[in-house]
Amino acid sequence: MKRTTAIVCLSSLLITAGCSDSKSGGGGKSGSDEQQASGAVIKQFADAWVKAWAPNGKPDAAGALTDNPTVFAKRLDDVDSALVASTVTVTPQGEPKCTDGSCTQDLAVEAQLRGIGAMKWTSTATAAKTGDAWKVKASGDTIYPGLGDSNYLKRVRQLPARASILDRNGVALTANRPVVIVGVAAGTKATAATYAAFTKYLDVDGAKLAARAKAAPAGQFVDAITIRAEEWEALRPTMSKLPGVLTMGGTQSLPPTATFARSLLGTMKTATDETLKNAGPTASAQDQVGTTGLQYAFQQQLAGTPGGTVALRDGKTKLTIKTVFAQKGTAGKPVKTTLDTNMQKAAEAALATSKLPASLVAVQASTGQILAAANGPQVASYNRAFQGRYAPGSTFKIVTSAALLGSGETAATPLPCTDTINVFGKTFKNYDALAAYGNGTMQTAFNKSCNTAFISQHARLPKDGMTKAAAMFGIGRDLNLSISAYGGQVPAPKDDVEEAASMIGQGTVTASPLAIALVAATVDHGTAMKPVLVPGKDAAGAAASPLPAATVANLRTFMRTTVTGGTASVLAGNGAVAAKTGTAEVVVKGKVTTNAWMAGYRGDVAFAVIVEGGESGSHTAGPLLKSFLSSFK
């Protein structure tokens, strides 16, 4: 009720608190009854609006504070849906202005438009007393000026073209290529035959897709897989006629083929909760985002930021009255890698000939820059070349030789090669059908890869001797690459048996193919280098102090003569190659089997290859490296 008489101050305390004639629009610090009452309901309304536009929020509480709850609640919810707002802040400004029985107050509104950014505006709430309560007028203008009873807001989001991942020469390894998103209609339109076809032709779990379709809201497109446009064209005659199959066209950042450097470059799919979080605040649940590899690691840099507009449209004509919000997007920035396109192709071509799972890594020895990393023969996103944790077998004799040379032994030190050797009850033997040859030098033991010869020297080394020797080659440190990679581990042995096993790359010693390629690179360059895949992002430089010059010279001789007259002779005729073979004994599903290794270098390129289940380094891994080396000079 509007007050027209002066308030008589009853005490000096009240006078100091502020006492005045409270005519409409005036008032002291506490304001008029109309201001207080209308301000309170507008504040409640603002708080309810915030809750309504919060995730899973409901507009009912905000609607209940208006003079037409049902109509306004729907209006508020419609505007929320139109803007795709994730959150909003609504802040009343100043004091309500009251006249003729109603009060108005400006509202500063800032809505976060999901996938675009912040949109700010000022609207005005009008409150009036209805019966015994104050209510906010149920007008569209309360939400946004100009909405009135029938106008509406229309949002458009624009994604910039995704930037490319580049090789070391600036050549694009990925580009935006046409794709088709294949899915089904929500509900039960798709049949058992439809889901069986998804399993058969697209390697999609048909049962899980059916469950998703049945649980999805009616009319929704339930995506199953994104494939290249040319792949869909081949499948179209079979898939398109099946009940419930739906498709959507689009583009996706892809390499030239589905297999090229997949485990490095990564893959893209419709965002999940995890990948959406990684994609940043301007990504949308409908976006195609990086899910693995460099596409995931550099999602925000590659994607850039989207732009968008919001238009106020006439409710009757559907024509734009005016654009009320516009944000310009920013283009993504390319990610330049150290990869060599031709060498990557050579690595993949070599592994394509393998009948067993294999991985190959090549690095520039002088810098640690990664030139190629391939996994085959089957396409996989899991990057065994970087993340695999394998016993390195006899390739680790490079490290063992460095440890023994550091203990005072020389290339000519006699190391007896016997058929077996027993260390505190544990019997070790040789591989590759190597027969005992009696006394020979360390170089001979290296060339022929005699396990028993090296193990015979285990007492020469301190307990942490192999751990320290491995550290000189960069083994045991966190690689801190842009994408996940394992740097190897050589724990201090708990007893003599473990120490003996570690000298032949068995026991608790593990390493990735990348880590073993870096071991070979250390011999080539003389200093262990940190691996680099993305210059400027991955730390570069030395990973350890330089090896002693005499050790480097001996190891280079050991590895070169292993090619010219030892177990790596399969590589002879491919230039000045130096290498070391390896056969590692492993237990798979309760059965003892072997993995085949070979590591080495030629010029400034160091490399390592592993073949899971391979017979031996010389017979199984060697031919793959020979193919690789023959593809480039």
Q: What is the DSSP string of 125-157?
A: EEEEEETTEEEE---HHHHSTT-TTT-EEEEEE
Rounded CA separation 194/179 (Å): 21
Q: What's the whole-number mean pLDDT along residues 145-160?
A: 96
Q: What is the 3-state secondary structure (H, E, C) of 177-228?
A: EEEEEEEEECCCCCCHHHHHHHHHHHCCCHHHHHHHHHHCCCCCEEEEEEEE
pLDDT, tens digit, 9 for 90 and up, residues 435-470:
999 999 999 999 999 999 999 999 999 999 999 999
- Considering the four listed CATH numbers 3.20.20.220, 3.30.420.10, 1.10.287.130, 3.10.450.100, the one that applies to the domain covering 12-149 is 3.10.450.100
Phi, psi angles (nearest 5°) of residue 547: -65, 150
Cα–Cα–Cα angle for 526, 529, 530, rounded to 5 degrees:
170
Would you put residue 394 in left (φ > 0), alpha (ψ -120 to 50) or beta?
Answer: alpha
Structure tokens at 265: 């470059």
- Element at 40 (helix H, strand E): helix 33-52
* Start-end of CATH 3.40.710.10 domains in the chain: 341-629
Whether 12 shows a pLDDT value over 90: the answer reads no
Higher pLDDT, 315 or 21: 315
Handedness of CA 499, 502, 507, 511 (dihedral sign): positive
Tell me if residue 324 falls in helix, strand or coil.
strand
Span of 22-26, 77-81, 206-210, 518-522 with lowest mean pLDDT? 22-26
pLDDT, tens digit, 9 for 90 and up, residues 524-566:
999 999 999 999 999 999 999 999 999 999 999 999 999 999 9
- Cβ atoms of residues 77 and 52 within 8 Å: yes
pTM of the model: 0.85
Number of helical H runs and strand E runs in the chain = 22, 22
* Start-end of CATH 3.10.450.100 domains in the chain: 12-149
Topology adopted by domain 341-629: Beta-lactamase (3.40.710)
- Element at 233 (helix H, strand E): helix 229-239
Q: What is the DSSP string of 44-88?
A: HHHHHHHHHTSTT--SHHHHHTBSSHHHHHHHHHHHHHHHTEEEE
pLDDT, tens digit, 9 for 90 and up, residues 334-359:
999 999 999 999 999 999 999 999 99
